[in-house]
Amino acid sequence: MNHQKVPKRAQFYLIGVLLVGFISLCLWTFVIEPSSLFVREYKLNIANWPASMNGLKVAVITDLHAGSLYVGPGKVRQVVEETNKANPDVVVLLGDYVASVHKYCPIKPAAFMPELAKLKARYGVYAVLGNHDWWYNGDEIFDAMTAEHLKVLENSASEINIGKERLWIAGLADKWTRIPSVDKALKQIPEGDPILVITHNPDVFPSIPKRVSLTMAGHTHGGQVAIPGIGPLFVPSAYGTKYARGHIVEDGRHLFVSTGIGTTFLPARLCTPPEISLLILSQ
């Protein structure tokens, strides 16, 4: 057989192309995508949603991880400004406000909670805490939020009056660090009333009853790094990629998982851009 050698100039060209591609991929994954921010709209059709509330806009903010590489006070301010521009009816905050694992966070919660308190929504702002919040100091974060009149729910519910209808926001305790109780959270809610459940970790979804209109969660970051054609490299869930991101319908029940805003452990994002999720709910 006649084996022809690749000319040295072609070899250098190929190496150059590969090097440029690798540098571009690293720049995108470690700088451009994780430092970006999008407001992404999702139209969700929910069978047991009341027609009188069609078009209700719910802004979902989760996994800020303030103190991580691209989430400083300025980014928190940007998140608030972009959310307010969307003019939501309800804002839900789904936990992991700090970038912390071992009782340390570069930005103290009290330093950025006044910014979150500037969120505006026709029917209010509702929050739950996440695993990183409790790994840091859940009581400190709870106190910082309530000091700014942000309503934090833990296995409890809050009633919203929309015209002649009632809507309930029920918040669950974090699955990894606390004890979530669906029964306790829904106990005071009359049968037939529409319910939005907010939780940090989507792994509670199998325990959510059909009477709940929609469950909203974060925690997964959508896998944070997803390879095109393959999917997320790692999802912190007992269910693998099943509840990784987006709108999931299972046995007539609805779940939405937002990819969130910050990063954890590795300051990288690929094919999972930071987002404020704006949900438009209808029948």
At residue 21, the pLDDT reads 82
At residue 132, the pLDDT reads 95
Q: Which domains does the chain have, with CATH numbers?
A: 33-282 (3.60.21.10)
CA distance 195 to 212: 5
Residue pair 76/115 in contact by the 8 Å Cβ criterion: yes
At residue 2, the pLDDT reads 55
Residue pair 125/88 in contact by the 8 Å Cβ criterion: no
Classify residue 206 as exposed, middle or buried by CB count within 10 Å of its CB (0-12, 13-18, 19+). middle
CA distance 249 to 269: 26
Pairing of β 195-198 and β 214-217: parallel
At residue 100, the pLDDT reads 76
Biggest alpha carbon distance in the chain?
84
Opening angle at CA 104, ends 118 and 268, nearest 5: 75
Residues of the chain where predicted confidence (pLDDT) is lower than 50: none
At residue 6, the pLDDT reads 60
At residue 260, the pLDDT reads 98
Whole-prediction pTM: 0.93
User: Which helix H or strand E contains 109, and what residues bound it?
Assistant: helix 109-116
What residues contact residue 150 under an 8 Å CB cut-off, 6+ apart?
Answer: 93, 113, 116, 117, 125, 127
Residue pair 194/123 in contact by the 8 Å Cβ criterion: no
At residue 141, the pLDDT reads 96
Pairing of β 156-162 and β 165-171: antiparallel
What phi-psi label fits residue 265: left (phi over 0), alpha (psi between -120 and 50 degrees) or beta?
left
Residues 204-260: tens digit of each pLDDT: 999 999 999 999 999 999 999 999 989 998 999 999 999 999 999 999 999 999 999
Residue type for position 135: W
